[in-house]
Amino acid sequence: DGKMHPVDSKDIAFQIAGHEAFKIAAQKANPTIMEPIYQLEITVPEQYAGDVISDMNTRRGRVLGMMPAEGGRTTITAQAPLVEVLRYATDLRSLTQGRGRFSMTFDHYEDVPPHLMQALIEAQKKEHSSG
């Protein structure tokens, strides 16, 4: 009946029941993992624009637009998951021989793609079982 009985009840039984109930409820809720998406403004010499766009595509980024900037430069507006651009300053320097610059600001959250979500879940299970 779910009530505590001084003779028959054990704390561990309630812990296990609570854990199992939560696990079943979470599965039925169809949860998702969200990731922060950042907007980037990347300014590079024109000759590097193609390389920067290609690189952004490998980072699950979306190029939203390009505009000419002064001095033979191009400004690229893009969005990408934060996890994909954490070390972007170093990578942009390499792509542009140190001549590119960028800024990024938080824009919104999106669902993690299913194949990446499964990898995250598996990694978490592995970490949890080894620790």
Distance CA 60, CA 86 (A): 13
Range scoring the smallest mean pLDDT among 80-84, 95-99, 118-122? 118-122
Q: What is the pLDDT of residues 41-68, one digit of tens each?
A: 999 999 999 999 999 999 999 999 999 9
Reference 122, options 15, 30, 33; nearest CA is 33
Fold entry, domain 35-110:
Alpha-Beta Plaits (3.30.70)
To the nearest whole number, what is the mean pLDDT of the chain?
A: 89
Distance CA 7, CA 4 (A): 9
> Three-state SS for 97?
coil
For the chain, counts of helices (H) and of strands (E) = 4, 4
What is the pTM for the complete model shown?
Answer: 0.74
Q: What is the pLDDT of residues 101-128, one digit of tens each?
A: 999 999 999 999 988 888 888 888 888 7
